[in-house]
């Protein structure tokens, strides 16, 4: 038998430096494109044109190795662009552990720190430069890299070019100019998820009108079970999810304040769970401690914004919960892909308010691509039927989505929650006691512990907390399941909505109150 490690120096290096005994075919292809460019750099004049490649591989498929491995084998430094400081620190740790010389260029560095990093690159002691888009726009940095003989320019998490560049991080839109100024031999964009419109936008910014190679692995993650939980009370839904789903778990939220508030609530209501929060507004020392805690924890629950997730390699996350829909299908697959990176069975659960969610102002007013992707994610949560997995794959333009066998989504195994917890009981109770109860009275009545013939449905939501019932009533009002009488002798009292159909009539058509939940 041929000893592949002995006859294959690339595989031997992967094993010795990174502990990887097998390179997948798509990894070999990406690495080969980089190394071939190194060996043919002086062959003829045509090779002066950069090698451009877009690499789309699922989360956990080893994208980082595709540029980490050849970095020390190339004739010039590798520049890697990341979106987040936490991710930059994580990759710095990994490369250092593998014996790869690396420097980080970031905002807030002193001139002495920056010059020290430059010297490490000049001397060859550092073969990898880690930066973010904003740092590349600093004149001293761009000028240095333009003369540093950069061989490989990498944009990791490249979907951020489309997701963030057209909204709140315009520095991403300047990466094309940075690439031209630096003039690398190879340019590679890596992402775990990209639909055709996102792919087109990323290529437009990074490659202009130039052709590029596309390396694509299947985005399907068969070990992840996808579920959608409709909820009148998001508080009750998240408490149930954290209490019943396997851990470690990540709960993704949309804002820093939500991460903190939710973590504090879950610590109080789920006493057996060690719950902490994480976001980019924390001090670096706090983030470092939280990352170390969660990496080592087998039972922890981390409530986080998108600041935690991209490239953070905790292999045994068993559950990823989204507290409301993220801005796009790509974001959802990227974040839910934090689960099950060890290949074991895991859960990805979207908690969706029963009332139609209003698209954010940013999504409505930003680049048309942003709005279109937000709508696709809304459809994932509200589609009345169909395989969850196939929907997500179709949204990415995956041609064989409908041909994949699925036994690990709630729809395909017949266990989907098509109606929010408590929805039917609340509707029946308000219909039976129409014009009798105000909102606060209804919450107390429904959570009461005693029932009698004269008070039908009293205590129907026994076991619910008072705040959960109040939030459920507000959710029912927004969804059009019930409505408030606005005038006359029964003003302010609840009645069942005549126009409600399957819990989906909008509040505008039913005359429901616009009072909010949380």
- pLDDT value of position 172: 96
Residues in CB range of 390: below 8 A, 6 or more apart:
401, 402, 404, 406
Tell whether the torsion through CA atoms of 28, 31, 33 and 39 is positive or negative: negative
pLDDT of 510: 32
pLDDT at 72: 83
Residues pairing with 213 in the sheet: 53
pLDDT at 125: 95
Confidence at residue 46, expressed as pLDDT on a 0 to 100 scale: 41
- The predicted pLDDT at position 265 comes to 95
Q: What is the CATH number of domain 4-216?
A: 3.40.50.300
In CATH terms, are 4-216 and 224-403 the same topology?
A: yes
Q: Give the CATH fold of the 423-510 domain.
A: Arc Repressor Mutant, subunit A (1.10.10)
CA distance 404 to 389: 9
Alpha-carbon distance 421 to 386, whole Å? 21
Q: What is the pLDDT of residue 347?
A: 97
Q: What is the mean pLDDT of each run of 10 residues along the chain (518 residues)?
A: 50 85 82 79 53 87 89 92 90 90 94 96 96 95 96 95 88 96 96 85 94 82 94 95 97 94 94 92 90 94 84 86 89 88 94 71 54 83 90 81 82 91 90 87 80 68 90 89 87 78 36 29
Q: What pLDDT, on a 0 to 100 scale, did the predictor assign at position 310? A: 57
For residue 218, the model assigns a pLDDT of 73
Cis peptide bond N-terminal to 248, omega within 30: yes
**352 within 8 A of 337, measured Cβ to Cβ:** no
276 forms bridges with which residues in the sheet?
A: 302
CA gap 186, 332 in Å, rounded: 30
Q: Which two tokens stand for residue 17?
A: 């430096």
CATH 3.40.50.300 fits 224-403, yes or no: yes
Domain residue ranges of the chain, discontinuous segments joined by +: 4-216, 224-403, 423-510
Question: What was the pLDDT predicted at 369?
Answer: 62
């Amino acid at each position: 038998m041929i000893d592949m490690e002995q006859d294959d120096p690339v595989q031997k290096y992967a094993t010795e430096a990174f502990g990887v005994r097998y390179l997948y075919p798509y990894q070999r292809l990406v690495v080969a494109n980089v190394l071939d460019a190194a060996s043919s750099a002086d062959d003829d004049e045509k090779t002066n044109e950069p090698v451009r490649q877009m690499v789309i591989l699922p989360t956990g498929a080893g994208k980082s190795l595709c540029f980490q491995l050849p970095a020390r084998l190339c004739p010039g430094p590798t520049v890697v662009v990341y979106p987040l400081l936490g991710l930059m620190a994580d990759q710095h740790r990994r490369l250092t552990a593998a014996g790869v010389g690396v420097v980080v260029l970031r905002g807030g560095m002193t001139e002495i720190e920056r010059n020290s990093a430059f010297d490490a690159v000049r001397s060859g002691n550092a073969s990898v430069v880690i930066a973010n888009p904003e740092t590349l726009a600093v004149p001293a940095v761009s000028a240095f890299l333009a003369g540093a003989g950069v061989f490989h320019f990498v944009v990791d998490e490249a979907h951020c070019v489309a997701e963030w560049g057209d909204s709140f991080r315009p520095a991403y839109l300047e990466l094309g100019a940075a690439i031209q100024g630096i003039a690398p031999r190879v340019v590679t964009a890596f992402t775990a998820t990209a639909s055709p419109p996102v792919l087109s936008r990323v290529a437009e910014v990074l490659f202009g009108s130039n052709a590029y190679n596309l390396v694509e692995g299947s985005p399907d993650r068969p070990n992840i079970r996808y579920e959608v939980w409709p909820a009148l009370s998001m508080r009750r839904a998240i408490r149930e999810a954290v209490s019943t789903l396997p851990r470690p778990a990540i709960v993704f939220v949309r804002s820093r304040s939500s991460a903190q508030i939710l973590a504090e609530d879950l610590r109080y209501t789920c006493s057996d769970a060690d719950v902490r929060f994480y976001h980019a507004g924390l001090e670096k020392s706090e983030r470092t401690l939280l990352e170390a805690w969660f990496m080592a924890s087998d039972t922890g629950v981390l409530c986080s914004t998108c600041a935690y997730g991209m490239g953070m390699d905790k292999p045994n996350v068993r559950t990823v919960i989204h507290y409301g829909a993220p801005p796009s299908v790509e974001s959802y697959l990227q974040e839910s892909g934090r689960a099950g990176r060890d290949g074991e069975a895991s859960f990805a659960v979207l908690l969706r308010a029963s009332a139609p969610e209003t698209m954010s102002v940013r999504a409505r007013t930003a680049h048309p691509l942003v709005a279109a992707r937000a709508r696709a994610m809304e459809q994932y949560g509200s589609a009345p039927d169909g395989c969850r997995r196939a929907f997500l794959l179709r949204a990415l333009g995956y041609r064989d989505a409908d041909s994949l066998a699925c036994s690990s989504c709630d729809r395909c195994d017949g266990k989907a929650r098509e109606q929010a917890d408590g929805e039917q009981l609340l509707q029946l109770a308000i219909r039976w006691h129409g014009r009798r109860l105000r909102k606060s009275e209804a919450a107390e009545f429904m959570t009461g512990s005693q029932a009698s013939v004269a008070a039908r449905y009293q205590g129907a939501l026994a076991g619910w907390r008072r705040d959960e019932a109040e939030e459920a009533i507000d959710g029912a009002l927004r969804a059009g399941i019930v409505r408030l009488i606005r005038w006359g002798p029964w003003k302010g009292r609840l009645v069942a909505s005549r126009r409600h159909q399957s819990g989906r009539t909008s509040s505008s058509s039913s005359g429901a109150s616009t009072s909010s939940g949380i």
